[in-house]
Structure 1
C-alpha cells in the first residue's frame, strides 16, 4: 500500500458531481502535482485529503491509517494556501511556531524548531519582523515554514505561487523542491501552471472534469499523452486532420497528400483521425531519415528571443515549429513556400 492511498474518492455538491472515482497512490517522499484547468476538481481532492471537505464516498489512508472521516485537526498534515494566511499581529517567529504552541510544545522546543525552520527558508535575520514588512516571496516562505514546523506526514500546497511575479515564482519553486527533497516529505502540489508541474514533480496527475485523465512522470505526460485532453492541455500541440486510407498499413490522407505512418492505426479505413506533433519535433525543410514531408507556406513568425516559432499552412491545417534564433540568419518572410518534415514515429494519433 502507498504511503498516501486514495481509493475511489468521489465528491458531489448537490447535483454537481465534482470528483469522480479518483484513485491515487503516493509513495513516501514523493512530490506529486495535480494539474488541470479551473473547476476540474484538483483543489477539492486536496481539501478532502486535508480534512476540510468530507468525501461523498471513497477512502483516504495515510501510512495505513484511515483518515476519511477524521477532522482536519486530527490529521498530521501541513497546508500552504494560495493566500499566505499569516497572522498579521504575530512576528515571523510567532507565525512559524503557532502550530507548535497549539500542540502544547514547550518554549525551548518551539524556539529550537523555529530556528531550524528560519534556517531552512533562509530568513534567519527576519524572525522579529511582521508579515507586512516582508515581500510576497518571503511571506510565502514563512507560510511554508509554518506548515512544516509541526513535522507533518504530508504537505499540501494549494497554488502557493500564483500571486507572485514570474521571476520570484521560478526561484521559489526551486526553493520548495529543494526543501521537499531535503526533508523527504510526501507532497501534493496543486497548480494550473504546466511549467510548474512539469519542472517540479516526480509525477503529474492531469485532471479533467473530476477525473484523473493521466497519472505519469512529466516526461511521459508531455511526450506520451494517453488522452486527447492531456495532449492538448499540456504544452503546445499541432493537430492535423487526416482520413484513414488503410488502417492496418498506417496509410492516411492529409487533404490530398498521401502519408504513411508505418504502423497500424486505431479505427477503421475511411474514418477520420487527428495527427498531433509538438513544435520542437517539426523541422523546417527536408530532414535525413524516414520522415513525413509536407509542402506549405509561412503563415506567421513569432520572435520569442532565443526561440523563433514559425507557423506553416499545410494540407490538413497548420504546423507550428520552433527554431533557435541565429543572429546571422533572419527567419523566412510571410508567404514564402517551404517544406516541413516530421518523423512518422513522433506523430501522435488521436481519435477525432
Structure 2
C-alpha cells in the first residue's frame, strides 16, 4: 500500500469540472511534482490534499487513513505557499515555532525544534529578525522551516519559487530538494516550470485539462512523452505531421519523404501521426543505421557552445542543436543539408 493515495478525485465548481478522475499513489519519502499550465487543476488538487478544498467525489488516504472529512488542522500536513504567508509581527523564530505553539507543545521542545530548523535552512543566527528584514529567498526558507517544524506526514509546496528571481530560484530549489531528501518527507510540489520539475522530482505528474496526461520519472517524461500535449509542453520537441504508409514495416510519409522507422507501428495504415524528436537527437550528415532526411537551413544562431539551427523539411521547420567545435564550419541559411536521426529517438504520436 502506498503512503499517500489519491483515488478517483473529482472537483466541480458548479457545472465546471476542474479535476477529472485523478488517481495517484505516492510512496513514503517520494518527491512528486504536479507540472502543467495555469488552469490545469494542479493547485486545486493540492488544495484538496491540504483540506482547503473538498472533493466532489473520491478519497485521499495518508498511511491508510481517509482524511477527506478532516479539517486542514487535523491532517498533519505542512504547506508552503507562493506568497510566503509569514506573520509580519512575529520574529523568524516565532514564525517557525508558530504551529508547535498552537499545538501547545512545551516551550523547551519548541525552542529546540526552532533552533534545529533554522540550522537546516541555513539561517541559524537570524531567529530574532522580522520578515521585512529578510530577502525573498530567506523568507521562503523560513516558510519552509515553519511547515517542517510540526513534523508533518506530507509536505505540500504551491509554486514556492515563482516570486523569486532566476538565480535565487536555481539555488533554492537545490536546497529544498536536499532538505527533503535529508528528512525523508513525502512531498508534492506544484509548478509550471519544466526545469524545476525535471531537476527536483522522483516522478512528475503532467496535468492537462484537469487530468493526469502522464505520470513518470523525469527521464520518462522527457524522452518518452505519452501524448502530444506532454510532448509539446515538456522541453522543446520537433513534430513533423505525416501518414502511416506501411505499419508492419514502420514506413511513414512525413515532410514529403518516405521514412523507415525500423519497427512495427501500433497505428494502422493511412493513420495521421506526428513524428516527434528532440533538437539534440538530430544530426547533420548521413550516419549508417539512422533515418535519413533532407532539408534546407532557414536560420542559424551562434550561441557560443551551441549552434542552433532551424531547418525546413517539407514545409515544416524543425530545430537542430549541435555543439560548437574548434574549426567547425558554420552552416549558412539557404544551404541544403542532409540530416539523420536514430530510429529509437523518433516518437510516433497519434491523435
* Alignment TM-score, normalising by the size of structure 1: 0.97
Gaps of 5+ in 2: none
How far does residue 166 in structure 1 lie from its aligned partner after superposition? Answer: 0.8
What pairs with 1:133-172 in structure 2 (closer than 5 Å)? 133-172=133-172
Q: Distance in 2 between matches of 1:231 and 1:68?
A: 34
Other-structure match for 2:349: 350
- Asked whether the equivalents of residues 311 and 318 of structure 2 are also in contact (C-alpha less than 8 Å), the reply is yes
Other-structure match for 2:58: 58
How far does residue 254 in structure 1 lie from its aligned partner after superposition? Answer: 2.3
Report the 3-state secondary structure (helix = DSSP H, G, I; strand = E; otherwise coil) of the residue aligned with 1:318.
Answer: strand
- Asked whether the equivalents of residues 30 and 186 of structure 1 are also in contact (C-alpha less than 8 Å), the reply is yes
- Asked whether the equivalents of residues 241 and 316 of structure 1 are also in contact (C-alpha less than 8 Å), the reply is no
Q: What is the CA deviation profile of residues 260-292 of structure 1, one whole-angstrom value per residue up to 9, with x for unaligned ones?
A: 1121223322232110001111001222x3111
Report the 3-state secondary structure (helix = DSSP H, G, I; strand = E; otherwise coil) of the residue aligned with 1:124.
Answer: coil
What pairs with 1:142-221 in structure 2 (closer than 5 Å)? 142-221=142-221
Q: Distance in 2 between matches of 1:331 and 1:79?
A: 51
Q: Distance in 1 between matches of 2:284 and 2:158?
A: 41
Q: Which deviates the most, 267-276 or 52-61?
A: 267-276
Is 1:78 matched up with 2:59? no
Alpha-carbon RMSD across the aligned residues, in angstroms, is 1.2
- Asked whether the equivalents of residues 80 and 143 of structure 1 are also in contact (C-alpha less than 8 Å), the reply is yes
> Aligned residues, how many?
351
Q: Distance in 1 between matches of 2:79 and 2:18?
A: 21
Gaps of 5+ in 1: none
Is 1:313 matched up with 2:312? yes
* Alignment TM-score, normalising by the size of structure 2: 0.97
> CA 1:307–1:122 in structure 2 vs 1: closer, same or farther (change >3 Å)?
same
What pairs with 1:289-328 in structure 2 (closer than 5 Å)? 289-315=288-314, 317-326=316-325, 328=327
Q: What is the CA deviation profile of residues 283-302 of structure 1, one whole-angstrom value per residue up to 9, with x for unaligned ones?
A: 01222x31111111111123
Q: Distance in 1 between matches of 2:303 and 2:53?
A: 43
Q: Distance in 2 between matches of 1:111 and 1:65?
A: 31
